[in-house]
Amino acid sequence: MDIELYSLLALAILLTSVGTILFALFTYIMFRIRETRKLKKTAAAHSAAPEPVPAPPPPQFFKPYEPSL
């Protein structure tokens, strides 16, 4: 296979990889913006709501986890 053809194919692969990562970065930024808004909204709703009454502790059905290592 000719080395020039390699270069062209390589360029296409690199552009695709970089493009995919940039697209992922864009998706991440959009996600962070939405998530920050959602968390702020939830925090505001919680601060407006009356203090919840703490529930009684559940009966000890499961044994507490103790790491063996």
Partner 1 sequence: MLRRALQIASIVGLILLTLGLMTAFYFDVYVSRLMVTDVFLRVSGVVVFGFLIAMLIRYWILLCLATLYQLENPPLEAELDHYPMVTMILPAHNEGPVIESSIRGAMNMDYPNFEVIVVDDGSTDDTFERARNMVPEYGGKLQAITQPNGGKSKALNNGISCARGEFVLCTDADSRLEPQTLKEAIKHFSDPEVCAVAGNVKIANRLNMLTRLQSLEYIEGLNLVRAAQAFLQKITVIPGPSGVFRKQVIIDIGGYLSDTFAEDCDLTLRLMLSGKRIKYESRCVAWTEAPEEVAALFKQRYRWGRGILQAILKHRKALWKPFPDPLGWLMLWNMLFESVAMVAMDFVGILLFLLMALGGGVSSLVFLWWLELTLLDVLAALFCLTQEKEDLHLVAYAVLYRLFFIPFVDAMRFFASLDELFNVRMGWFTQTRMGRI
Structure tokens given for 32: 């962070």
- When asked if residue 7 is in the footprint of partner 1 (CB under 8 A), the reply is yes
Nearer to partner 1, 47 or 68 (CB): 68
Measure the CA–CA gap between 30 and 33, rounded to whole angstroms. 5
- When asked if residue 62 is in the footprint of partner 1 (CB under 8 A), the reply is yes
Number of chain positions touching partner 1 (CB under 8 A): 33
Structure tokens given for 51: 């203090």
- When asked if residue 44 is in the footprint of partner 1 (CB under 8 A), the reply is no
33, 39, 44, 46: which one contacts partner 1 (CB under 8 A)?
39
Maximum alpha-carbon separation in the chain: 75
